[in-house]
Amino acid sequence: MKKVINVDDLRRLAKRRLPTICYDFIEGGTDDEIGLAANEQAFRQARIVPRYLIDVSVRDQSTNLFGCTFSSPLGIAPTGSADMFRRGADLMLAQASRDANVPFIMSGVSSSSLEDLGQLAPDHGWYQLYPAIDPLISEDMIKRVRNAGLKTLVLTVDVPEASNRERCIRNGWGPAMRPSWKAKVEALRHPLWMMQWLRNDAPYFGNWTRYAGPSASARMVAEFVMSQFGAPLTWNNVERYRQLWEGNLVLKGIMHPADAVRAGSIGVDGVIVSNHGGRQLDNAPSPLEVLPTIHEAVGDRMTVMLDGGVRRGLHVLLAICMGAKFVFQGRPTLYGVTVGGIAGAAKALAIFRREIDISMAQIGATRIADLGKHYLM
Ligand SMILES: Cc1cc2nc3c(=O)[nH]c(=O)nc-3n(C[C@H](O)[C@H](O)[C@H](O)COP(=O)(O)O)c2cc1C
């Protein structure tokens, strides 16, 4: 990994290591992948105006969020099925986040369990809930999150239905995998990945095994998870979860200012402005486009965060100037963990950290609190 100097280097190495069926799952969007491209494009088009003649020799990118001081304003977004790219990836990501002192959100469809996360990284781990059709399962999961010592619960709101991911359909990717023949043959050309695959059983959805029955196989658990997906998620559920969960409650996937205002009015602590990395609704705006309006609507009454298309440290600063308090990224640390396990995920975080530091100097900011609208054209 010595030659890796940016996130795109990690992406290229991950692409080489993974069979197309896996790489396409990470990389792909929905429909025509317009939203996917727009997320990165929004950052390319944004401009920031530097201030000079300021002593920037000492810089501090630490950031307070929900009463914790993190070393950088950038955390790891939830990404399901990470075990398919490297066995144990969820906890490797958690460990890298703990070592770098930034938050990690465990996906509701992770392979490792939230109890393992609580043991490994209680101060850095957040849990993302996908509600089940059976409300008792969701309520039990909330209880488990509390018992595991985790303090932030993230509710993803932008999956009202499975989306149309055509790369996955063509390759035969799904919770209960049925790879096409073409995908199987292509996988044989990736021996490192293949060896890992053959040495281990199929990955489980670790947070769901107990609900699928004690002797359920990985495929049976996956089928059970699919049978529990698609529960209608409404404001009533959010109110119910607010009553059940006394820790920080965050809604992920909010894109409309009125929804952010409504969330604040029922006691939600934060929103992650996100279009799920372009994976749900193709012609949604990019999160960066709607961020200023959302920040304006809720002001500092709630914590506004963002993810989607962040590939450079400077992007993190841009999002903060436009109203985000904290920023997340999903694919870059997935590339990292795929390529080099904990060290690879740490590398992705270190790349961002270094770029944030250099970019702060370039614009004349010594602290994250210096950033704001005054840097924008
Ligand atoms: C492979 C993959 C799996 C994902 N799984 C989940 C998930 O389980 N839950 C969730 O809320 N978001 C999920 N997301 C969306 C991410 O949390 C995040 O919103 C997105 O990756 C941000 O965009 P970026 O990858 O451009 O940084 C996933 C994204 C990817 C790429």
Q: Give all domains of the chain, ordered by start, each with its CATH number.
A: 7-48+56-372 (3.20.20.70)
> Which protein residue has the closest C-alpha to ligand 1 atom 11?
156
Per the document, the length of the chain is 377
> Which protein residue has the closest C-alpha to ligand 1 atom 28?
79
Cα–Cα distance measured from residue 317 to residue 326, given in angstroms and rounded to the nearest whole number: 10
Assign 178 a pLDDT band (cuts: 50, 70, 90). Answer: confident
Cα 55 to middle of ligand 1, angstroms: 38
Which of these is catalytic: 124, 190, 276, 315? 276
Environment class of 189 (CB within 10 Å of its CB; exposed 0-12, middle 13-18, buried 19+): exposed
CB 107 near ligand 1, within 6 Å:
yes
CB 75 near ligand 1, within 6 Å:
no
**Mapping DSSP to helix (H, G, I), strand (E, B) and coil, where does residue 368 land?**
helix
> Which protein residue has the closest C-alpha to ligand 1 atom 8?
80
pTM above 0.95, yes or no: yes
Contact (CB, 8 A) for 367 and 29: no
Cα–Cα distance measured from residue 258 to residue 331, given in angstroms and rounded to the nearest whole number: 29
pLDDT one-digit tens code per residue, 116-173: 999 999 999 999 999 999 999 999 999 999 999 999 999 999 999 999 999 999 998 8
Res 295 pLDDT > 70: yes
Res 203 pLDDT > 90: no
Res 112 pLDDT > 80: yes
Res 199 pLDDT > 80: no
Closest ligand 1 atom to 309 CA: 26
What's the pLDDT score for residue 257?
98
**Mapping DSSP to helix (H, G, I), strand (E, B) and coil, where does residue 322 land?**
coil
Cα–Cα distance measured from residue 376 to residue 25, given in angstroms and rounded to the nearest whole number: 35
CB 329 near ligand 1, within 6 Å:
yes
Cα 56 to middle of ligand 1, angstroms: 35
CB 330 near ligand 1, within 6 Å:
yes
What's the pLDDT score for residue 176?
63
DSSP 285: P
What's the pLDDT score for residue 310?
98
Q: Could you tell me the two tokens for 356?
A: 């944030």
Closest ligand 1 atom to 40 CA: 26
Cα–Cα distance measured from residue 315 to residue 366, given in angstroms and rounded to the nearest whole number: 17
CB 286 near ligand 1, within 6 Å:
no
CB 165 near ligand 1, within 6 Å:
no
What's the pLDDT score for residue 179?
80
What's the pLDDT score for residue 175?
66
β-sheet bridge partners, residue 155: 129, 251
The question of whether 295 is a catalytic residue gets the answer: no
Cα 334 to middle of ligand 1, angstroms: 10
CA angle 186, 190, 196 (to 5 degrees): 120
Mutate to test the pocket of ligand 1, among 23, 79, 272, 329 (most ligand atoms within 8 A of CB): 79
Cα 93 to middle of ligand 1, angstroms: 14
What's the pLDDT score for residue 244?
98
